[in-house]
């Protein structure tokens, strides 16, 4: 165990990223991400990190700069939230298709409208299909460690894809926790220097992500899918090596918390697991067989691992921090898809609990466990929706 410091989550992430020695950082301020890029800018200005910090006019600019930097062979980093991520979306699809190992920190925040600066996962979930690998942290320590793992996975020749580290806005970015920053010498040895497969070079010109006719485009897209699937094994391997090198377990595909013999299992991603674990502990003491499975990787979706972790359950409830309007949950259908193909018809309930900073307290977790353990199954429910503040949903003409 190394030295722990009491650090704000965003600061801890910024100093971890600096120790990964990116050569180019470009970011645009947006709440609640700002402290990450602000601190990185300070670190570069103080001469503590030999990197170019590019000031940009927008998140579209930030994403474009790190895309170009990565194509030129540099290790590149950016961070954003919410609307900023929306503005980056077009570039992220290109980054994945061009197979550029950029690392992106996302301080998860609700997407407008209605305007909210608080946490949910709809920003990251709305770009889930673009080929970017998505990791979700539970606490500050994991958010830091996942950044080191992210660079290693992204730059692995078996992967070569952008990786996004998600940390819950405010809940993790603005909270002070004891955190152990990765040791500089260990980080240098763990990551090594990034050597690009091909890079932009005036002496040897090339175009990235070229035009493809219909006879080739589909194969170009399939290669992203293939690399994304292959990354699961690489994430497991890199996480094992991280534990060996740094002396603490971090990363991996999912966390199984008292779920092996559980009859009722809750599934979540991100920091809400802290509250759920407390309730699991409390109910376990009373003899209830409940457990939690927390996804650390959401894209690629770890189907086999999820099915293996859930196959013994009698009831499953998914705590969603997002959703697809007009359809339902985000994790819920992915999970049902895996269970269905495995021939398992375990009832799965999806609860949309935490949009726009709405918190889930222990009594809410208890209620959900009680309802699904009692045999109730809901396809997708906005949990504890305050109907009393809703207007006439279909206003009459006057």
Q: Does 384 bind another protein (CB under 8 A)?
A: no
Site string for another protein, 192-211 (x = CB under 8 A): -----xx------xxxxxxx
Q: Calculate the dihedral angle through the C-alpha atoms of 15, 141, 67, 122, rounding to the nearest 10 degrees.
A: -130
Q: Does 214 bind another protein (CB under 8 A)?
A: no
Residues in binding contact with another protein, number by CB under 8 A: 20
- 253-312 residues in contact with another protein (CB under 8 A) are none
d(C-alpha 193, C-alpha 78), whole Å: 18
d(C-alpha 223, C-alpha 218), whole Å: 9
d(C-alpha 341, C-alpha 326), whole Å: 24
Closest CA to 81 of 169, 176, 7, 213: 169
Q: Report the nearest approach of another protein to the CB of residue 214 (Å).
A: 11
| SS3 state at 6 | strand
* The only residue of 18, 40, 98, 293 in contact with another protein, by rule CB under 8 A: 98
* The only residue of 223, 245, 342, 344 in contact with another protein, by rule CB under 8 A: 223
d(C-alpha 101, C-alpha 98), whole Å: 9
Q: Does 212 bind another protein (CB under 8 A)?
A: yes
Site string for another protein, 54-93 (x = CB under 8 A): ----------------------------------------
Q: Does 97 bind another protein (CB under 8 A)?
A: yes
Bridge partners (DSSP) listed for residue 167: 107
* CB nearer to another protein: pick between 71 and 266: 71
Q: Does 362 bind another protein (CB under 8 A)?
A: no
* CB nearer to another protein: pick between 98 and 137: 98
* CB nearer to another protein: pick between 130 and 262: 130
* DSSP code at position 263: S
d(C-alpha 103, C-alpha 388), whole Å: 43
d(C-alpha 162, C-alpha 156), whole Å: 11
Sites of contact with another protein (CB under 8 A): 97-100, 160, 197-198, 205-213, 216, 219-220, 223
């Amino acid at each position: 165990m190394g030295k722990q410091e009491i650090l704000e989550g965003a600061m801890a992430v910024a100093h971890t990223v600096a120790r990964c020695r990116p050569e180019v950082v470009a970011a645009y301020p947006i709440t609640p991400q700002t402290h990450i890029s602000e601190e990185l800018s300070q670190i570069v200005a103080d001469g503590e990190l030999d990197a170019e910090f590019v000031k940009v006019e927008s998140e579209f600019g930030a994403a474009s700069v790190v895309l170009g930097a990565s194509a030129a062979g540099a290790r590149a980093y950016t961070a954003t939230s919410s609307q900023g991520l929306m503005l980056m979306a077009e570039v992220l699809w290109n980054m994945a298709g061009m197979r550029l190992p950029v690392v992106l920190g996302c301080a998860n925040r609700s997407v407008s409208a209605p305007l909210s600066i608080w946490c949910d996962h709809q920003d990251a979930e709305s770009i889930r299909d673009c080929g970017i690998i998505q990791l979700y942290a539970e606490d500050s320590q994991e958010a830091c460690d996942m950044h080191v793992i992210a660079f290693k996975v992204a730059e692995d020749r078996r992967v070569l894809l952008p990786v996004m580290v998600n940390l819950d806005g405010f809940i993790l970015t603005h909270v002070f926790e004891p955190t152990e920053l990765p040791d500089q010498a260990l980080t240098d040895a763990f990551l090594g220097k990034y050597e690009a497969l091909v890079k932009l070079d005036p002496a040897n010109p090339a175009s990235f992500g070229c035009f493809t006719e219909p006879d080739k485009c589909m194969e170009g897209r399939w290669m992203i899918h293939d690399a994304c699937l292959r990354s699961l094994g690489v994430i497991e391997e890199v996480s094992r090596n991280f534990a060996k090198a740094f002396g603490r377990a971090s990363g991996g595909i999912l966390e199984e918390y008292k779920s092996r013999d559980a009859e009722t299992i809750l599934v979540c991603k991100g920091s809400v697991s802290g509250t759920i674990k407390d309730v699991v502990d409390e109910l376990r003491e009373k003899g209830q067989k409940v457990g939690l499975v927390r996804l650390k990787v959401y894209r690629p979706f770890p189907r086999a691992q999820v099915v293996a972790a859930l196959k013994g359950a009698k009831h499953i409830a998914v705590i969603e921090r997002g959703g697809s309007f007009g359809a339902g949950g985000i994790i819920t259908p992915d999970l049902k898809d895996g269970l269905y193909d495995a021939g398992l018809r375990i009832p799965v309930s999806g609860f949309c609990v935490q949009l726009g900073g709405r918190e889930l307290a222990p009594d809410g977790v208890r209620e959900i466990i009680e309802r699904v353990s009692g045999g109730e199954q809901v396809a997708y429910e906005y949990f504890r929706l305050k109907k009393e503040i809703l207007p006439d949903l279909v206003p009459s003409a006057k």
